[in-house]
Amino acid sequence: MAIFKGAGVAIVTPFREDGSVNFDKLGELLEEQIAGGTDCIVITGTSGEAATLSEEEHSAVIRYTAKKVNGRIPVVAGTGSNCTETAVKLSRQAEEDGADGVLLVSPYYNKTTQEGLKVHFSDIANAIHIPAILYNIPSRTGMAINPETIVWLCRNVENIVGVKEASGNISSIATLAALGRDDVAIYSGDDDQVIPIMSLGGLGVISVLSNVAPRKVHDMCQAYLDGDVRKARDMQLDALPLIHALFCETNPIPVKEALNMMGKNVGGYRKPLVLMTEEHRELLRREMTNYGLLG
């Protein structure tokens, strides 16, 4: 069973000036997302800079989020790793910390085979009692989870329910939809492909754009789910210039800059991420203004 339908936010992790996690600010962001209609919080993912959180911080962020959200919408925690044992440990801890589900990126750097992916994801999912969403993003991990592998996992491992598709390969996603039918919950992992993927049977998006425009992303997904395809299409097309600006540099550099432009004061980044170039900052400011997020 799918964890959610509609717009999930791949939420950022705010930091203080000394680099520590700003939990008070995180609480404000969570409340704003819920008020904006967001259907699911996805914490400690790529946008949340999970790669540079210690295991203690990782657990603390998930625990705080689950407590703050308090069951109002699902909380999905990124717990993937290129080490199966580490991913098992992180996933068990996330379940203990109150997460409603986990997001599992494919192993990176050491990679594996498709058979290895089956073993890796099965071992993690079988170690927990909450649902798992796979995360297919070969541009970051160096390998794809093939459609046949995703379908096999969703059909053979009870609590693997779907996939966040950020491959950018719409033909592969169409193949996945054809093979998986109602057995695979597909979420767009690319903000510029939300409606195309929903047209293939996708249930929504795990979105970076939702950090700055939660109501619009929710309404776009809901319009499609309600059958208003024209409205959903137009909202997708209207958002494209801003979406492109939000990915003009490595995520989450632009989206954190955008939030700071909006006065959210989410802080900076952990190295090796660094500040945007001035040229890209001006591009982002212009598209934020055009989209109605800045005066």
pLDDT digit string (tens) for 110-134?
A: 999 999 999 999 999 999 999 999 9
pLDDT digit string (tens) for 242-257?
A: 999 999 999 999 999 9
The tokens describing 223, both together, are 């319009």
pLDDT digit string (tens) for 22-61?
A: 999 999 999 999 999 999 999 999 999 999 999 999 999 9
pLDDT digit string (tens) for 188-237?
A: 999 999 999 999 999 999 999 999 999 999 999 999 999 999 999 999 99
The tokens describing 93, both together, are 């801890």
Overall average pLDDT of the 286-291 stretch? 98
Residue 8 pLDDT > 90: yes
pLDDT digit string (tens) for 150-193?
A: 999 999 999 999 999 999 999 999 999 999 999 999 999 999 99
Residue 1 pLDDT > 90: no
pLDDT of the residue at 84: 98
Q: Which of 164, 216, 256, 264 is catalytic?
A: 164
Is residue 187 annotated as a catalytic residue, yes or no? no
Is residue 108 annotated as a catalytic residue, yes or no? no
Q: 241 CB contacts (<8 Å, ≥6 apart)?
A: 287, 290, 291
Mapping DSSP to helix (H, G, I), strand (E, B) and coil, where does residue 278 land?
helix
The DSSP string of 77-129 is: EE---SSHHHHHHHHHHHHHTT-SEEEEEPP-SS---HHHHHHHHHHHHHT-S
Residue 270 pLDDT > 90: yes
Q: Which of 64, 135, 187, 224 is catalytic?
A: 135
Torsion of CA 199, 201, 203, 208, to 10 degrees: -50
pLDDT of the residue at 288: 98
Residue 83 pLDDT > 90: yes
Q: Would the pTM count as exceeding 0.95?
A: yes
Instruction: Identify the residue whose tokens are 């097309």.
Output: 237
Domains of the chain, each with CATH number or no CATH: 6-229 (3.20.20.70)
Question: 222-228: long-range contacts (C-beta < 8 A, 24 or more apart)?
Answer: 222/6, 222/37, 224/195, 224/198, 224/199, 225/5, 225/6, 225/198
| CB distance 36 to 260 below 8 Å | no
CA dist 268 and 253 (Å) reads 8
Q: What percent of the chain has pLDDT over 90?
A: 99
Residue 295 pLDDT > 90: no
